[in-house]
Amino acid sequence: EPEVTQTPSHQVTQMGQEVILRCVPISNHLYFYWYRQILGQKVEFLVSFYNNEISEKSEIFDDQFSVERPDGSNFTLKIRSTKLEDSAMYFCASATGYEQYFGPGTRLTVT
């Protein structure tokens, strides 16, 4: 069964550094998403992406964040200058319509 994959599974970075989180969505899906879950809290929407552009973004998704689909298969989330409060689990999801399928997540730790 096709699945969403994410790399790396765990990323440790120093405050102020740039990180890129990578996702490979399910191949025939059209809609792509990033969500964030701070430990012990609910899952929060960051951004949605369709037809090579951002469809919607949340208040969390400020100028430090960007997304890209560089080659038709990968979908990346870049954080330009990480802060301590960016430490969280980041989930990628993809969908053809209404059912979103999630990847296993990347745990980002900012020290």
**Mask for 43-62, x = binds another protein (CB under 8 A):** xxx--x-x----xx-x----
CA–CA separation, 36 and 29 (whole Å): 20
Site residues for another protein, 2-21, by CB under 8 A, read none
Instruction: Please name the residues in contact with 85: beta carbons below 8 A apart, sequence gap of 6 or more.
Output: 110
* Nearest distance from C-beta of residue 72 to another protein, angstroms: 18
Question: Given the complex with another protein, which of 15 and 54 has the nearer CB atom?
Answer: 54
CA–CA separation, 76 and 40 (whole Å): 25
**Residue of 10, 4, 42, 40 whose CA lies nearest to 24:** 4
Question: Given the complex with another protein, which of 14 and 42 has the nearer CB atom?
Answer: 42
Q: How many of the chain's residues bind another protein (CB under 8 A)?
A: 28
Contact 9, 108 (CB under 8 A): no
Which residues of this chain interact with another protein, rule CB under 8 A? 30-31, 33, 35, 37, 41-45, 48, 50, 55-56, 58, 89, 91, 93, 95, 97-102, 104-105, 107
